[in-house]
């Protein structure tokens, strides 16, 4: 059973459609950018921390059933963490992520599927917007716009999609060419190369070939572990020194940092070496805006307008305190818990520990007790 087999019977396929006309007459047919950029080690290293930290979020919803679905089992294939990571991966790789909201016959959401399209086309049917998806296996699926949660990055040229990652082309080509150049240089310099000259005079071509092949077999094969060649007075070997040019480490680092800047990460983020301040900046700049966009989009597509006005919501968030270091958590206990800023169990929760009895009461150090003005005045009079 495949992705489409699970949902096609419940989806209405639009017929007799026409192409959707965007404002500004922008094309309504979209395909993925070039080759799969996720095959690039540099790109994957940049995207991995974005999806990993996004996957730490939990969802809160006014509907407990939907909250359970999104946190634990959005669809047959994924748990809540997998769902968030895949959505973030699609968002970064394609700049336009579609999430199919599968509904039962009453219109209630029963599943959420990130759509692994290869290309898609915007269509109009009965004055409504539909998206026709094409998949690598040749299958096609058409879905109404109101059943799609859509997240877009670099949202500029099109009404429907984010711009492509064409801006990455030159940097990825430079990195690929540099890596290939280094690989070829290693191969070129690893072999003995030169000119074998015979001093006997004119020899037949087949005899020259025979001597060359014998020399290669005796002295250049892996069996000659000594690295020493022995020749008589009838032969001369002149080595050719190979010094292929390659990019230096500084240039290659700059190429990689260009890609990192494109995705809004750096070495500290990729290698999990962020300080608390860097973590906070990373969260506010790269994680929180994405979760906010996902929360708004799902809320507006899962619930009706009147339900939203009445207070229906879907909100993704993360507790940033869960990801600070142990030393910072201890400092937090001394500076906040002991002065009544949070309970012991709240602190234990962000430290990955189970609650304890009596831990839900606020505590305060004696030297930080609330001052009783009346008692103070009486003591002063005495």
Query: Residue 34 — very low, low, confident or very high, per pLDDT cuts 50/70/90?
Result: very low
- Mean pLDDT score of the chain, rounded to an integer? 78
Mean pLDDT of 72-98: 95
Compute how many other C-beta atoms are within 10 angstroms of the C-beta atom of residue 98: 24
Question: Strand, helix or coil at 269?
Answer: helix
| Cβ neighbours of 350 (radius 10 Å) | 16
Tens digit of each residue's pLDDT (9 = 90 or more) over 100-146 = 999 999 999 999 999 999 999 999 888 889 999 999 888 999 999 99
Query: Distance (Å, rounded) from C-alpha 153 to C-alpha 92?
Result: 8
* Residues near 324 by beta carbon (within 8 Å), at least 6 away in sequence: 276, 279, 332
Q: Which of 3-12, 63-72, 225-234, 365-374 has the highest mean pLDDT?
A: 63-72
Tokens of 318: 């993360």
Burial class (CB in 10 A: 0-12, 13-18, 19+), 182: middle
**What's the N-to-C CA distance of the chain in angstroms?**
86
Contact 131, 148 (CB under 8 A): yes
What is the Cα–Cα distance from 299 to 215, expressed in whole angstroms?
75
- C-alpha 341, offset from chain centre: 36
- 140-176 tens-digit pLDDT: 999 999 999 999 999 988 889 999 888 887 777 777 6
The residue among 235, 229, 238 whose CA lies nearest residue 210 is: 235
């Amino acid at each position: 059973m495949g992705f489409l087999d699970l949902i096609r019977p419940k989806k209405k396929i639009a017929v007799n459609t026409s192409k959707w006309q965007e404002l500004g007459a922008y094309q309504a047919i979209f395909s993925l950018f070039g080759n799969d950029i996720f095959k690039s080690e540099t790109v994957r290293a940049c995207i991995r921390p974005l999806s990993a930290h996004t996957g730490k979020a939990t969802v809160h919803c006014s509907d407990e059933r939907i909250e359970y679905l999104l946190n634990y089992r959005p669809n047959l294939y994924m748990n809540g963490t997998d769902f968030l990571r895949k959505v973030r991966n699609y968002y970064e790789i394609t700049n336009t992520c579609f999430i199919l909201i599968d509904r039962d016959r009453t219109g209630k959401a029963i599943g959420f599927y990130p759509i692994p399209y290869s290309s898609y086309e915007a269509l109009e049917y009965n004055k409504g917007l539909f998206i026709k998806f094409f998949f690598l296996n040749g299958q096609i699926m058409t879905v109404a716009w109101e059943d799609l949660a859509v997240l877009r990055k670099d949202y500029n040229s099109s009404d429907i999609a984010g711009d492509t990652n064409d801006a990455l082309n030159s940097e990825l080509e430079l990195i690929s060419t540099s890596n290939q150049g280094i690989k070829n240089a290693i191969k070129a310099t690893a072999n003995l190369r030169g000119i074998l000259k015979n001093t006997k005079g004119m020899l037949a071509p087949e005899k020259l070939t025979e001597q060359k092949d014998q020399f290669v077999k005796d002295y250049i094969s892996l069996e000659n572990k000594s690295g020493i060649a022995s020749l008589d007075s009838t032969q001369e070997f002149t080595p050719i020194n190979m010094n292929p040019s390659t990019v230096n480490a500084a240039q290659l680092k700059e190429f990689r940092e260009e890609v990192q800047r494109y995705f809004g990460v750096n070495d500290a983020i990729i290698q999990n070496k962020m300080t608390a301040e860097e973590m906070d900046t990373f969260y506010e700049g790269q994680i929180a805006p994405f979760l906010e966009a996902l929360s708004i989009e799902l809320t507006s597509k899962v619930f009706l307008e009147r339900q939203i006005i009445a207070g229906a919501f879907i909100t993704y968030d993360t507790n940033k305190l869960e990801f600070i270091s142990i030393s910072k958590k201890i400092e937090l206990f001394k500076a906040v818990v002991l002065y009544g800023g949070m309970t012991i169990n709240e602190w234990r929760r962000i430290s990955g520990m189970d609650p304890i009895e009596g831990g839900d009461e606020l505590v305060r150090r004696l030297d930080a007790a609330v001052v009783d003005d009346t008692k103070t005045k009486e003591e002063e009079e005495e």
